[in-house]
A and B are shown apart, each in its own frame.
Chain A
């Protein structure tokens, strides 16, 4: 059951009505049942993973409470984290580790037969990395004493499985979510209206923009050897917007759906392609909940920036390499992470000349250059993120770069379809909205408009969804993580 399906929208409408109709003290039951039903719709067996994750978090959370800094606490925390991550490792990384081990061991094997290791070949359950990370953060917070361990198993189960955020985040912290569950939510028309706005905008980004761009991206990346450089170039540029609209669309929908139910989730995206530097992109604007998770539970424990410069650079590279692996069990993601880590390190290594150059240029020009450079650096890294293999990614990049002088000639041979121009107009519209939003929140601007203007905007978005939306039940990119 996907957010971008009519079945889900009907399901959610029913849940929302029942939620507000149910007595406050029993709403967690409804949310739990709805969340398990939602997750079970992908494969009922996977709900057992939710049960496992919840029970581990509950038991270790209770055991860890009040043991901050103690040897016993550290051991328990290690066990709790290992128990939580075990499922992730088994489902997501076992085959990757086995195949990597196979490549390492094959040359030194002396057996006559080709050296092979068995594979599990288990299907990766949707959203596993997301709810596992939620559980790990809960355990660490319990250990640190940031939050008390949750006594109510049902509420903790809702925190782990809350269906709007279950499949692709945001990776919400227990410290902000559990108190809302405990307090209960009342019907707030402003929050519900805002939730509906976010839901509409998220659907628009996913169904109207991302899924339209997918057609061009798939065409380029499916067989890069046989595609023209212009097809590849378009695929690369469009992928940057496809993944943004797909993932931020999901996050907007998740936040909107939660808001309709009265729960506030954290903001996960903040106009990332307007970042003036790679550190700004990752720390403040893209997948903020994951960046914050890595900051709090990996980067700072590694020493953060309160270490020697070399160690600091190492910490940054390590965080990005792990972040790459978190996204997928494939070397393409490791390269993607390492590349972004490298950008980050270079940004700081080149700090002095960068500042000197910045001082000589007008700020608007410097900022524009920063935005364009950051966008293109991220764009190159996305190629590794999207490609089937490192070889394929390298092929895409080399074919584009080696054909740059020929591009004006190749332009004539490309099929400039109506769908392409619609895609370009949609991207331009998105960028315009993001630029305006950067200056002043679009929602605040919209709220200040008279009703006909506001409603006109809603009807226009709805009209686009209905007339040009791609309702082909396409999965969200981040669901696979």
Chain B
């Protein structure tokens, strides 16, 4: 304590009387320096941004896309490497993949709302995952992840989209302050998902322990029934938004291997609950979950690798995008 007193006393000679004025000056200079950092980080985003969904929406020419793909990580391989170009070539239609890792209904609603403020869509394909309906970890908490906005350019349209949803307000301090961009540890790296860079070409060697860990990670939730009805309602609102924009919503269950799919907790109950809702809303539903069974089609427990995406595209997805499956 003596040391603290001595150190504080050493400052006494230094701190002059108009302390508030000095502190105000300190804060003002600090804010100016922060603004410089902000500008630097914003400029960096335009140099390194690539696959961040907010970046893609902000930097694409305003247009009417034929297909907008939403969902979580199971939908992401459809946009990995050259897959999107291949799909566009095979269908002759414009496609934008806006799915995000671990993104439940709420992150998808925010992405869609932002997208519709800058572009238009003919069709919205929602790649459905049951885990996203059971936990705030994939919804409200996922939105709080600063990494989600690490390459999101400052855009009033995104601010307006976030403001229009109460649950999205917590993203605003991070987004508006630009902290996620300034503090981004991967700022020197290209903005490409790690799975795309390092895993997409691999084939998975099954391991029951890792499968079980993955499922426990995704489905670990206590009051799943209450959460389910809440996020089901959010999904209904997402469907209403798509309808209001004049687009057509299609829901797809992505391929997953049986060794993984059969262990998902309450999957049959989930299907039984979601199907009547989709029917009631007039939304077409395609269950491709059993479409690819071999482990050679997956790069890990449950995500399609290149071979899987190509096979799935040829067999099911391209016909769906072409409208030959209804």
Contact = CB atoms under 8 A, between A and B. Distances in A.
A266 B1 contact: yes
Give the one of A176, A189, A470 with max B CB within 10 A: A189
Contacts of A455: 26, 29
A190 interface: yes
A222 to B, nearest CB: 15
Interface size band for B = 20 to 34
A259 B11 contact: no
A469 interface: yes
A418 B185 CA distance: 11
A468 B10 CA distance: 31
Interface string B1-36: 101111111111111000100000010011001100
Given A265-B1, A267-B1, A447-B13, A441 B33 contact: no
Contacts of A463: 33, 37
B8 A466 contact: no
B1 A190 contact: no
B8 A191 contact: yes
Given A455-B26, A467-B182, A441 B15 contact: no
A190 to B, nearest CB: 4
A27 interface: no
Contact of A471 (B10, B11, B26, B183): B183
Interface in A425-481: 441, 443-444, 447-448, 454-455, 458-459, 462-463, 466-471
B167 interface: no
A188 B7 CA distance: 13
A447 B8 CA distance: 9
Contacts of A441: 3, 6-7, 10
Contacts of A6: 173
B30 A466 contact: no
A414 B136 CA distance: 39
A183 to B, nearest CB: 14
State the majority secondary structure of interface residues on B: helix
A455 B8 CA distance: 17
Contacts of A468: 183, 185
Contacts of B37: 463, 466-467
State the majority secondary structure of interface residues on A: helix
Nearest to A441: B7
B11 A194 contact: yes
Contact of A267 (B3, B12, B26, B183): B3
A190 B4 contact: no
Interface string A151-195: 000000000000000000000000010000000000011110110
Contacts of A466: 34, 37, 179, 182-183
A264 B182 CA distance: 35
Contacts of B173: 6
B34 A447 contact: no
Give the one of A6, A259, A466 with max B CB within 10 A: A466
A467 B183 contact: yes
A444 B183 contact: no
B14 A447 contact: yes
B19 A259 contact: no
A84 interface: no
B179 A264 contact: no
A248 interface: no
A462 B14 contact: no
A447 B30 contact: no
Nearest to B146: A471
A332 interface: no
A259 B9 contact: no
Contacts of A462: 30
A443 B12 CA distance: 12
B11 A193 contact: yes
Give the one of B6, B185, B188 with max A CB within 10 A: B185
B15 A459 contact: no
A255 B5 CA distance: 12
Given A455-B26, A463-B37, A467-B183, A264 B11 contact: no
27 contacts: A189-B19, A190-B11, A190-B15, A191-B8, A193-B8, A193-B11, A193-B15, A193-B19, A194-B7, A255-B4, A441-B6, A441-B7, A441-B10, A444-B7, A444-B10, A447-B10, A447-B13, A448-B10, A455-B26, A462-B30, A466-B34, A466-B37, A466-B182, A467-B183, A468-B183, A468-B185, A471-B146
